[in-house]
């Protein structure tokens, strides 16, 4: 029998595991995958952050002919560690989940005659429904700090709640509608 919980634990970030321990229980997850429900896990559940992230990357790869360079998007593994294991050297907590290394030019909304360049797009991806958590929308202090620092260096940084919102951000980034 496939241990789906182990697979998810391998790819999930610590904040997802801490917020949703029921998704990492082998018995509950196996029941949900096979069509039943146990505890809080159900087939109609909100996707895990890792599932949303995969959906965004898949969408980008499927739209490579429409948006130049979009296939270069990649997931950042910073901050992902396993309890009891030593984190890899150089990893930093709070770095946004996805990075699209494509520079784009936008007309400034403050100064319409001025053009702004963004060096790339960072997306901090949260599970849909976490917008109302904490005053920061579910962001850790380290994430808030990284977002502020990246914006100071002309990166466009967005927090997206779910795959659909992340895809919308990417489309608006390319279309200059930020």
What is the arithmetic mean of pLDDT over 113-136?
77
- Using only the alpha carbons of the chain, give its radius of gyration: 18
Helix axis angle, 26-33 to 4-11, nearest 10°: 110
Please, which pLDDT band fits residue 42 given cuts at 50, 70 and 90? very low
- Determine the pLDDT at residue 147: 96
Which backbone phi and psi does 176 adopt, to 5 degrees? 75, 25
Query: Do 36 and 67 have their domain in common?
Result: no
Query: Do 144 and 156 have their domain in common?
Result: yes
- Determine the pLDDT at residue 115: 73
Query: Do 35 and 123 have their domain in common?
Result: no
Q: Of the ranges 6-10, 103-107, 140-144, 157-161, which one carries the lowest mean pLDDT score?
A: 6-10
pTM reported for the whole predicted model: 0.68
Query: Do 80 and 12 have their domain in common?
Result: no
CATH number at residue 134: 3.40.1350.10
What is the arithmetic mean of pLDDT over 81-85?
59
d(CA 161, CA 9): 21
d(CA 25, CA 11): 15
Query: What's the domain count of the chain?
Result: 2
Query: Do 114 and 154 have their domain in common?
Result: yes
Query: Do 114 and 72 have their domain in common?
Result: yes
DSSP annotation string for 75-143: E--TT---TTSPPPTT--TT--SEEE---EEEE-SSSTT-EEEES-EEEEEE-TT-TTSTTTTT--HHH
Query: Do 131 and 59 have their domain in common?
Result: yes
Q: Is 102:92 a contact under the CB 8 Å cutoff?
A: no
Query: Do 120 and 73 have their domain in common?
Result: yes
Chain segment 87-119, per-residue pLDDT in tens: 677 778 899 999 999 999 877 666 666 677 899
Please, which pLDDT band fits residue 1 given cuts at 50, 70 and 90? very low
Query: Do 69 and 141 have their domain in common?
Result: yes
Query: Do 59 and 25 have their domain in common?
Result: no
* H-run or E-run covering 62: helix 49-62
What residues make up the domain containing 128?
49-175
Query: Do 93 and 26 have their domain in common?
Result: no
d(CA 175, CA 23): 37
Q: Of the ranges 12-16, 101-105, 112-116, 155-159, which one carries the lowest mean pLDDT score?
A: 12-16
Q: Of the ranges 37-46, 69-78, 114-123, which one carries the lowest mean pLDDT score?
A: 37-46
- What is the average pLDDT value for the chain, to the nearest integer? 76
Portion of the chain with pLDDT greater than 70, in percent: 59
């Amino acid at each position: 029998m496939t241990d789906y919980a182990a697979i998810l634990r391998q790819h999930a970030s610590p904040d997802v595991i801490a917020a949703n321990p029921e998704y990492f229980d082998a018995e509950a997850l196996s029941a949900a995958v096979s069509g039943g429900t146990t505890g809080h896990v159900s087939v109609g559940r909100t996707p895990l952050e890792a599932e949303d992230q995969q959906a965004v990357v898949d969408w980008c790869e499927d739209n490579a002919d429409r948006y130049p360079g979009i296939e270069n998007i990649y997931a950042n593994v910073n901050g992902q560690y396993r309890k009891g294991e030593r984190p890899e050297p150089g990893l930093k907590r709070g770095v946004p989940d996805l990075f699209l290394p494509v520079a784009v030019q936008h007309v400034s909304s403050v100064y319409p005659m001025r053009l702004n360049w963004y060096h790339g797009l960072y997306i901090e991806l949260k599970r849909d429904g976490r917008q109302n958590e904490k005053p920061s929308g579910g962001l850790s202090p380290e994430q808030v700090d990284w977002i502020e620092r990246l914006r100071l260096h002309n990166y466009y940084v967005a927090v997206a709640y779910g795959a659909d919102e992340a895809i919308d951000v990417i489309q608006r980034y390319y279309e200059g509608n930020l």
